[in-house]
Amino acid sequence: MSSCHSPPNETIVRIPTVLDADACRRIADLLASRPDVTLQIEGGEDLEFLRWFPGLRRLSSLSLRLRSIDGLRHVAAGLERLGVGSIDLDLLRPLISLRRFKSGLGTVGSLELLPSVGRLESIGLYRLRGPHDLTPLGAMPRPVRLNLASTRAIASLPSLERCDSLRWLVRQPPRRSFLCPSAARPRPRSPRPARSGAKA
């Protein structure tokens, strides 16, 4: 950030270390007029500092030391986008405005609560560890975009043939879709007709 008196031009503000209350207040003042900015946390063991950001709309916590996300209660009313590692979805139920949720490099517990979390429009599950039952996706109350990037251990999926709640489904890698594996099979080649006058 180039100035402490004007909003940042960036769309992501990184906080690599734990900040004191005065620093948090100054950053919160900068972000007050920029609801489109994502606050990216890369340090600390909890999210209690969020009490200085009551109007925060977008949060990404990449801290591998994170022990507790109870601090999300400070932004429960307005948070719209959240990215975290391992989490139990029961902790997200107070986030009534949540529209985009992303979790990666960990596990997601209580997936049966997914339809009751916020107003989800986009769900990203990246490189999750261990099997995950995604059957609750079939009960989503509104269309969602689902991204399963590099998540291989999927124990179960809803019947997608009748599932109107999924708008897009993306899974990378591998390139072969686990929904339609036959689509990735090579087509048999027809023999080429012999050329007229070809030598025997």
pLDDT in tens, 83-107: 998 889 999 999 999 999 999 888 8
Which position has the higher pLDDT, 164 or 116? Answer: 116
pLDDT in tens, 145-176: 888 876 767 777 777 666 677 777 776 554 33
Neighbours of 58 (CB within 10 A): 22
Element (H, E) at 122: strand 122-126
pLDDT in tens, 21-79: 999 999 999 888 888 999 998 888 889 999 999 999 999 987 767 888 899 999 999 99
| Predicted confidence (pLDDT) at residue 3 exceeds the cutoff of 80 | no
Q: What is the mean pLDDT of residues 164-189?
A: 49
Which position has the higher pLDDT, 92 or 190? Answer: 92
What pLDDT score was predicted for residue 162?
63
Tokens of 124: 């990203």
Closest CA to 94 of 111, 71, 112, 110: 71
How far apart, in Å, do the first and last CA atoms of the chain sit? Answer: 77
Contact (CB, 8 A) for 23 and 3? no
Grouping H, G, I as helix, E, B as strand and the rest as coil, residue 101 is strand
Specify the pTM.
0.75
Which position has the higher pLDDT, 186 or 106? Answer: 106
| Predicted confidence (pLDDT) at residue 1 exceeds the cutoff of 60 | no
